[in-house]
Amino acid sequence: MIEIIQAILPYISGLWTLPWILIGFIVTIILSKIFSENKVYLIMKKIGLVLLYIFVPLLLFRIFLDVDFGEYEIAFSIFCFIVLILMYVLAYLFARYKAGKLDLEASDKNNFIKTVLTNQGRSSAFVGGAMLAISQWRVAAALYMSIGAIFLFAIIPYLLSYFHKKDIQTSDKVTKIHALPWYLRLFPWYLLFFAGAAITIHAMTGVYLKDFGYAGIFFKLFTALTIPAALYYVGASIHPNDLRKDELKKLICLKKNGKIKDHWPWIRSIFFLTVIVTPLLTALILIVFLLTDFIPKEWFAVLVINSVLPITSTNMFLVPYGIDKKVTALSVTWTTLVCVPIIVFLISFFNTIFS
């Protein structure tokens, strides 16, 4: 039995996990033909929560149990925090600039800025989880995931709430926002608990996963299923209707929507920021640090790939804070469609040249 598990493990880790995106896409199309599309969507939503709250935390626990957490990990955490702050500052400055260029009214301008700022948040748990399959990147990718969760579910909602209160003070309308669901507010601290528990146990006892014998091997198999399952979920979230030629023409400005209030300029702005501006600036700045030996190559790979990640679908939970629902949904869809193939290439490319 143990031999079988050890033979299976290489095929559910590393670059072998990437085809699960395509598998998820195809299987979901087939299931939608057999069952109702809405039923498949509701099931996938529940699967997403199971992945977030059971599989991902346990995978982080397994990774950090084998890590001697020291200066290297602390230094990366600080550097990662700075990079994320700069990414959101860039989004805010870009949003203010584009709001002026689009000649938006005051209320639309504020909503546009909030929408762009929020959609700088990326899918580090699902799409970014593929990096956990690369042994040299595992710790950095796990730390980025944990810190990214704090921004997504703690810092950004706080900023949006602050902006919302300012909007109310300058408006005659009194609107009430509903806070994030309690389970999402809890998530970053829940994730950090598992990482912290593993670090503490390892520091106090010196144990590694291999010290648990057969139980450790079974636990490794269970947590290894996280990455293919998460990538299957990513593929399943891509809707075939969004691949229509007309939608692509609207995105690249070859076809006008014909409506007085067109949401496509907003989507194009967010797409340009997340797919082109942020990754390019991140790569240009980090390559200087890499060439001067200020950061190691695994930091460079993890941070650059994370800057190209598609927008996370969990941003939809922040709609009550005043961000545009349709713009966010379509931005998530199109960045997923475009960025996932780029991520697949970059993981393979960096893994080859840095190995």
In the prediction, which pLDDT does 83 show?
96
User: Which domains does the chain show, CATH number per domain?
Assistant: 2-354 (1.20.1530)
pLDDT at 322: 74
- The pair of three-digit structure tokens given for residue 13, joined into one six-digit string: 């880790």
Task: Report the pLDDT averaged over residues 25-44.
Answer: 85
Instruction: List for the chain the helix, strand, coil content (%; round to 5).
Output: 80, 0, 20
**Which residue would you say has higher pLDDT here, 84 or 179?**
84
C-beta separation of 231 from 18 below 8 A: yes
The pLDDT of residue 293 is above 90: yes
The yes-or-no verdict on residue 262 having pLDDT over 50 is: yes
Q: Which residues pair with 311 in a beta bridge?
A: 122
* % the chain with pLDDT above 90: 30
How far apart are alpha carbons 159 and 15 in whole angstroms? 37
Q: What is the pLDDT of residue 230?
A: 77
Contacts of 254 (CB under 8 A, 6+ apart): none
- Answer yes or no: are the C-beta atoms of 220 and 9 closer than 8 Å: yes
Sign for the CA dihedral angle at 347, 348, 351, 353 comes to negative
* DSSP label at residue 238: -
Taking the C-alpha atoms of residue 245 and residue 237, their distance in angstroms, rounded to an integer, is 19
Is 126 within 8 Å of 234 (Cβ atoms)? yes
Overall residue count recorded for the chain in this entry = 355
